Structure 1
Amino acid sequence: MGDQRSRGQLITFEGLEKVGKSTQIRHLSVWLRSQGYSVTVVREPGGTMLGETLRGMLLHTVQIHSPHAEFLLFAAARAELVATVIAPAMAEGHIVIVDRFADSSVAYQGFGRGLDVKWITMVNQQVMQGIEPDVTFWLRGPSFARGEDNMERQDEQFFARVEQGYLALAQANPTRWQIIDSQRPVEVVGQDIQSILHHMWSEH
């Protein structure tokens, strides 16, 4: 595998609820560390004191009625995460793995809630400080999975719109986006992800 230790990498995982992102991120981080890489794993919203506080509000404790307010809270958590965790870790040569990143806002608040995608993209560009994912794994599974938190309780039409958002993002940037069928055995999905990274890095 090519030597990625000299510069940071940003790997993001996207997808609807309950498609196995957390499991695959855990497996990938273990594998990368076994290969000798320094790995930082974070989630959105979260990863900082502010982010975890906002996560509790957004997903559990507060019913947010304004889609604009919802997005701006996600953006605030993202800004803090980039400034205090992601950017410093990448500067030290870490591979940073993020469970959801800026693309989630385009899919969920843009396509899902109907906010202006150009505005979301503009705000994201400000808070991301020029950092872009090197690769995004879209774990594509069932189009609807009802759960317990505020986001998971949305209806089937909402998740269908989010899925269309992800599809539009993937089609617009097929080099960065890797679409993974998450409905296969966990080990097979994990091997696919490892193979893609091995192929990408061996070319550099």
Structure 2
Amino acid sequence: MATKRGALIVLEGVDKAGKTTQCNKLVSALQQSGRPAEMLRFPDRTTTIGQMISAYLEKKSELEDHTIHLLFSANRWELVWFYNSSCLLQGFSLDWCKNSDTGLPNPDLVMYLQLSPAQAALRGQFGEERYETSNFQRKVQQKFEQLIQDSSVNWKVIDASRSVEGVHNDIVNLSINTINTAQNQELGELWK
């Protein structure tokens, strides 16, 4: 009998869309319902590579754009985990960005927390990191829309301008359905 597995669920969105808040709430809700859950955050700033990325994002160092993208990818490979929005940040073609992440685990669900860059700019601490500008976040949002249309990944768009609890309820419902479905399926490889 095959062992059941958990689900790989990813939250994406522009900076300040509420990804960390919603991840924490989802992990807590799943654990309270008796399901094991763990949150991974990228970049993982605790690793050597993650510390280099953190210094770059905090404007304490400079790196060439291709180099930072490859560091984001290497940071995911350190834990053999999921492709995320880092390729969108540098403005490279999606094909170029996908190459370094091909073979990472394919998520069972990606929830895109849709929030306009103007709304994101009103949220706390916006602008402290390198990519937190409204103009840049508009470009990221456009790339997300392209990626959602061009992907074999299971994307769900959630309106992140609503209340924290309203967004949370949608995330929990989608996650539970995905967990129940994923346990009987094999985990695929990204971009294959």
Q: Which residue of 2 aligns with 1:53?
A: 51
Distance 1:163 1:136, change over 3 A: same
Question: d(CA) in 2 for partners of 1:53 and 1:106?
Answer: 18
Partner Cα distance (1:76, 1:29) in 2:
25
In 2, the alpha carbon distance for the partners of 1:175 and 1:80 equals 22
Moved over 6 A (4+): none
In the alignment, is the contact (CA less than 8 A) between 1:51 and 1:77 conserved in 2? Answer: yes
Q: Structure 1, residues 147-201: CA drift from partner, whole Å, max 9, x if none?
A: 201221x4x3322211111111112248611111011111111001112223344
Instruction: Give the TM-score normalised by the residue count of structure 2.
Output: 0.80
Residues in 2 aligned to 1:160 and 1:196: alpha-carbon distance in whole angstroms? 26
CA distance in 1 between partners of 2:100 and 2:159 (Å)? 30
Which residue is equivalent to 1:176? 154
Higher helix share: 1
Moved more, 116-125 or 176-185: 116-125
Give the drift of 1:58.
2.4
Contact between 1:140 and 1:181, CA under 8 Å: does it hold in 2? Answer: yes
TM-score (norm 1): 0.75
User: 1:48-197, aligned counterparts within 5 Å?
Assistant: 48-82=46-80, 86=81, 101-109=82-90, 113=91, 115-126=92-103, 128=104, 131-144=105-118, 145=121, 146-152=126-132, 154=133, 156-173=134-151, 176-197=154-175
When residues 174 and 139 of structure 1 are mapped into structure 2, their CA distance, relative to the original with a 3 A threshold, is farther
C-alpha distance in structure 2 between counterparts of 1:61 and 1:53, whole Å: 12
Correspondent of 1:42 among 40, 43, 66: 40
- Measure how far apart 1:60 and its partner are: 1.6
Unaligned runs of 5+ in 1: 87-100
SS where residue 184 of structure 1 aligns? coil
- The number of residues matched between the two structures is 174
Where 1:40 maps in the other structure, the secondary structure is coil
Q: 2 CA distance for matches of 1:39 and 1:200?
A: 13
Q: Output one character per residue of 1:118-159: Cα deviation in whole Å (capped at 9) or x when no partner.
A: 121011115x2xx1111011111122424201221x4x3322
Contact 1:20 1:139 in 2 (8 A): yes
Verify the 8 A CA contact 2:7 2:179 in the aligned structure 1.
Answer: no
Q: CA RMSD in A?
A: 2.3
Q: Distance in 2 between matches of 1:40 and 1:51?
A: 21
Closer, same or farther: CA 164–124 of 1 in aligned 2, 3 Å = same
